């Protein structure tokens, strides 16, 4: 019986580290850029899909004092980054949080994030029924110097 419980728990953890589902929201390819000691902030990136339409309305993580959803935009040659109160997830569309666009900003970090570590993240999702729920995900920490996919200019 105990063995079965452990097996079930292991399966759940394995699922959680790869793909996380709420009722209709799927989060994939979650990663966080690592930091050097003393560095107070970094970004988390992922792919989020809602089957029936939803929005990310908040985020939190035990490793950060402050967590926000940010949008990065190039205004000419100037990089501008702003917190956004909600990130819409149109039905059936993959919304990518990736360098050059959106990210979950982890600030006031409580510890350096080392490549290979796992960081828990909670996303607050508002469904199209206006009800909010939370999704627990686990983000793999990649090296600080991880290069993004090169897909041209984001201007």
Partner 1 sequence: MPAIKTLATLFLCITLLLSGCSEPPAFKSTDITGADWGKAFVLTDPTGNIRQLTDFRGKAVVIFFGYTQCPDVCPTTLSTMRDTLALLGEEAKRVQVIFVTLDPARDTAEVLGQYAQAFNPSFIGLRGDEATTAALAKEFKVFYSKQKGPTPETYSIDHSAISYAIDPQGRLRLAIRHGEAPEIVAADLKLLLAGK
Q: Which stretch binds partner 1 (CB under 8 A): 4-12, 84-92, 120-128, 145-153?
A: 145-153
Q: Which stretch binds partner 1 (CB under 8 A): 6-14, 15-23, 30-38, 124-132?
A: 30-38
Look up residue 57 and give its two tokens: 């309305």
Contact by Cβ (8 Å): 72, 80: yes
With binding defined as CB under 8 A, does residue 147 bind partner 1? yes
CB of 129 to partner 1, least distance (A): 29
With binding defined as CB under 8 A, does residue 43 bind partner 1? yes
Give me the torsion for CA of 136, 140, 145, 151, rounded to 10°.
Answer: -70
Beta strands 54-60 and 64-75, pairing class: unpaired
With binding defined as CB under 8 A, does residue 130 bind partner 1? no
Look up residue 103 and give its two tokens: 């990210």
d(CA 80, CA 63): 25
With binding defined as CB under 8 A, does residue 63 bind partner 1? no
Number of helices and strands in the chain (H, E) = 1, 11
With binding defined as CB under 8 A, does residue 80 bind partner 1? yes
Q: Which stretch binds partner 1 (CB under 8 A): 23-31, 76-84, 85-93, 124-132?
A: 76-84
In this chain, which of 62, 92, 108, 111 binds partner 1, going by CB under 8 A? Answer: 108
């Amino acid at each position: 019986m105990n063995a079965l419980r452990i097996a079930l728990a292991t399966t759940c953890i394995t699922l959680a580290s790869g793909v996380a589902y709420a009722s209709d929201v799927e989060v994939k390819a979650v990663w966080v850029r690592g930091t050097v000691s003393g560095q107070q902030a970094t970004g988390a990136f992922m792919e989020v899909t809602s089957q029936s339409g939803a929005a990310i309305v908040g985020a939190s993580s035990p490793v950060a004092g402050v967590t926000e959803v940010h949008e990065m935009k190039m205004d000419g040659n100037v990089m501008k980054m702003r917190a956004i109160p909600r990130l819409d997830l149109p039905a059936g569309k993959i919304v990518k949080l990736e360098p050059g666009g959106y990210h979950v900003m982890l600030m006031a970090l409580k510890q350096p994030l080392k490549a290979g570590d796992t960081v828990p993240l909670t996303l607050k999702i508002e469904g199209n029924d206006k009800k909010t729920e939370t999704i627990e995900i686990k983000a793999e920490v990649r090296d600080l110097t991880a290069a993004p996919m090169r897909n041209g200019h984001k201007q």
